[in-house]
């Protein structure tokens, strides 16, 4: 008789965990509180416009493909993706426009043409961040930080011997200011701290591995948009016999004699051989394990930023915009100070504008575009003026975009949806609406993420962006891999 496993939550890591556990021979059941799978990796359709609601940048696609090959399937039978070129378009308040091309050499040449930096300096920086990735990946990404045996390998030893090259005791901004003198280039590379909801003026320079994933390794878009990843993983899970249960909110993890033995869902007890939570780890302990002793030092770490996102159906097409666009704030340090210290939205926020219809015309009516218009915001820390901040942010975004595009976009907005920290927490169970779990504004932050297993409760495991190794689709895929390797040990 097969052993049984329950996954709480069908976010990216939950779907990947279900596939991996099925491949380990378990009969897997997934319980999802919402009406469909995906977590933040979901979609909405409004007045003929399709919107990917959450992650919009796709890197390291091999980690998704691996789930299919592990299952003896051809990934291309389930989903496909294309390489992006260019990847980003950057807009500055002084009129500078930088195009981030796929080729590192061409991107470096573009920076040299548009700023005071030399191409060679940019290429040296990209070599440097590749070296950081090589030194850190084995330690921080591909294995559990919480298993002693993982520290006794040659790759880990190499990383530790080259610890100085990781620049862990510098902030990202300090390291970038040493590598570049043009503030526009420093700002461009500081931006990567936002990929895990952190502050580049506090987060360690070790995080400069992030641009390596996007620039050196390449960025992609799934055919059919980001939600195609969710659809493909659900289809694969179904083919492997995974049972998905929607509109099924788990309210408790059952513990007997320090062992996880099942869950309570829809008022009914159901028993399993192991329990995996893809729910935010803070809320897992708060709501599902209320009587269990909590790892306070990890759960009470400072939380990441959140976001305010306006999904706009725009009845016009703009040739100067690409799939990914960034409109920078003129005062980056003050923007992050406002987010992380004042807990307020900055008056002139940096805007990330994603338009999937640039690559998937079916996502918008002919001649129109679907705008995913996002700014970084504080998590919900009890602010009483959210409605006011959202209204002010909407006006600030429109004014900023109007300045750059030399038009008025107001009459072109014919559809609108809004996500903000309170709604993000409600829909995705992200504690305080913090999209990325704990922030990385601490040189030891990687070690302060919760493990992928419980050291106190046998048979209880964790996956997702709030635990090791962290947020983003690639890291969620790796958290599922690490978790599955811990099962049965």
The end-to-end CA distance of the chain, in Å, is: 20
- What pLDDT, on a 0 to 100 scale, did the predictor assign at position 142? 78
Nearest to 279 by CA among 14, 83, 36: 14
Instruction: Tell me the pLDDT tens digit for each residue of 160-174.
Output: 555 556 688 899 999
Over residues 283-301, the mean pLDDT reads 93
Q: Rounded to whole angstroms, what are the CA distances from 258 to 105, 270, 293?
A: 56, 17, 11
Q: How far is CA 486 from CA 73, 260, 276, in A?
A: 24, 15, 11
Burial class, 170, CB count within 10 angstroms (exposed 0-12 / middle 13-18 / buried 19+): middle
Alpha-carbon span 246 to 15, nearest angstrom: 13
* Tokens found for residue 235: 């289809």
Residue 150 has pLDDT above 60, yes or no: no
183-190 helix and 104-114 helix, angle to the nearest 10 degrees:
140
Kindly list the distances between the CA atom of residue 34 and the CA atoms of 6, 45, 93, 184, 290, in Å, as whole numbers in the listed order.
16, 16, 41, 42, 22
The partner residues of 34 in beta bridges, in order of sequence, read none
Query: If you average pLDDT over every residue of the chain, what do you get?
Result: 94
Residue 142, token pair as written in the block: 């591909």
SS3 for 44? strand
Structure tokens at 66: 């691996």
Nearest CA-CA partner of 269 in 284, 285, 253: 253
Find the helix packing angle between 12-23 and 473-486, rounded to 10°.
40
- Note whether 58 and 35 are within 8 A (CB): no
The superfamily (CATH) of domain 4-82+224-301+436-486 is: FAD/NAD(P)-binding domain (3.50.50.60)
| Predicted local distance difference test score (pLDDT) of residue 160 | 55
pLDDT digits (tens, 9 = 90+) for 161-207: 555 566 888 999 999 999 999 999 999 999 999 999 999 999 999 99
CA distance 146 to 452: 8
Tell me the DSSP string of 413-469.
EEEEEEE-HHHHHHHH--GGG-TTSB---STTGGGGSBPSB-SSSBTEEE-STTBTT
Cβ(372)–Cβ(325) below 8 Å: no
**Gap between the Cα atoms of 8 and 287, Å rounded:** 13
- Backbone dihedral region for residue 424 (phi beyond 0: left; psi -120 to 50: alpha; all else: beta): alpha
- The mean pLDDT value for 360-375 works out to 98
pLDDT higher than threshold 70 for residue 152: no
Q: Per the structure block, which two tokens stand in for 212?
A: 């390596």
Statement: residue 146 has pLDDT above 80:
no
**Digit-coded pLDDT (tens) for 426-446:** 999 999 999 999 999 987 777
Q: What are phi and psi for residue 383, nearest 5 degrees?
A: -60, 140
Q: Is residue 18 within 8 Å of residue 30, measured between CB atoms?
A: yes
Strands 413-419 and 306-314: antiparallel
- For tokens 């962290």, what's the residue? 470
At which residue do the structure tokens 């520290």 appear?
151
pLDDT digits (tens, 9 = 90+) for 201-253: 999 999 999 999 999 999 999 999 999 999 999 999 999 999 999 999 999 99
Every domain of the chain and the residues it spans: 4-82+224-301+436-486, 114-214, 305-428
What CA–CA distances, in Å, run from 237 to 17, 80, 232, 400? 10, 17, 9, 44
Q: 288 near 31, Cβ under 8 Å?
A: no
Lowest mean pLDDT among 43-47, 112-116, 156-160, 448-452: 156-160
Residue 331: band (very low, low, confident or very high) from pLDDT cuts 50, 70, 90: very high
Cβ(42)–Cβ(224) below 8 Å: no
The encoded tokens of residue 323 equal 């799939």
Indicate if the pLDDT at residue 390 is higher than 60: yes
**Cα 210 to Cα 310: distance, rounded to the nearest angstrom:** 26
């Amino acid at each position: 008789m097969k052993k049984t496993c329950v996954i709480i939550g069908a976010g990216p890591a939950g779907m990947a965990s279900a596939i991996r556990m099925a491949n380990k021979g378990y009969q897997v059941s997934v319980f999802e509180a919402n009406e469909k799978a995906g977590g933040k990796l979901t979609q909405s359709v409004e007045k003929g416009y399709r919107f990917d609601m959450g992650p919009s940048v796709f890197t390291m696609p091999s980690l998704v493909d691996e789930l299919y090959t592990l299952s003896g399937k051809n990934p291309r039978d389930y989903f496909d993706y294309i390489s992006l070129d260019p990847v980003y378009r950057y807009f500055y308040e002084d009129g500078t426009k930088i195009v981030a091309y796929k080729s590192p050499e061409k991107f470096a040449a573009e920076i040299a043409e548009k700023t005071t930096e030399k191409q060679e300096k940019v290429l040296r920086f990209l070599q440097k961040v590749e070296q950081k990735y090589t030194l850190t990946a084995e330690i921080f990404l591909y294995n559990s930080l919480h298993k002693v045996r993982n520290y006794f390998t040659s790759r880990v030893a190499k990383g530790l011997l080259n610890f100085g090259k990781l620049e862990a005791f510098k902030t990202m901004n300090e390291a970038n200011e040493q590598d570049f003198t043009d503030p526009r280039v420093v700002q461009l590379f500081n931006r990567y701290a936002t990929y895990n909801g952190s502050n580049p003026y506090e987060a360690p320079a070790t995080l400069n591995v992030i641009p390596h994933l996007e620039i050196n390794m390449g960025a992609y878009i799934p055919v059919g948009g980001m939600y195609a990843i969710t659809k493909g993983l659900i289809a694969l899970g179904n083919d492997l016999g995974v049972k998905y249960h929607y509109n099924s909110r788990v309210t408790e993890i059952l513990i007997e004699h320090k062992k996880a033995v099942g869950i309570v869902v829809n008022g009914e007890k159901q028993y399993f051989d192991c329990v995996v939570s893809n729910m935010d780890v803070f809320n897992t302990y708060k709501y599902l394990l209320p009587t269990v002793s909590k790892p306070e030092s990890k759960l009470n770490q400072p939380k990441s930023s959140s976001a305010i996102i306006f999904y706009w159906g725009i009845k016009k097409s703009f040739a100067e915009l690409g799939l990914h666009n960034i409109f920078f704030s003129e005062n980056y340090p003050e923007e992050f100070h406002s987010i992380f210290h004042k807990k307020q939205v900055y008056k002139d926020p940096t805007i990330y504008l994603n338009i999937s219809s640039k690559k998937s015309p079916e996502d918008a009516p002919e001649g129109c575009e679907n705008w995913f218009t996002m700014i970084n915001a504080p998590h919900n820390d009890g602010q009483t003026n959210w409605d006011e901040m959202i209204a002010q942010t909407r006006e600030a975004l429109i004014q900023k975009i109007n300045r750059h595009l030399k038009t008025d976009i107001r009459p072109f907005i014919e559809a609108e949806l809004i996500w903000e920290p309170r709604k993000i927490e409600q829909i995705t169970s992200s504690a305080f609406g913090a999209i990325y779990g704990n922030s990385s504004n601490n040189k030891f932050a990687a070690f302060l993420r919760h493990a992928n297993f419980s050291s106190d409760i046998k048979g209880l495991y964790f996956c997702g962006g709030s635990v090791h190794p962290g947020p983003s689709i690639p890291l969620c895929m790796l958290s599922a891999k690490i978790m599955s390797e811990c099962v049965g040990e």
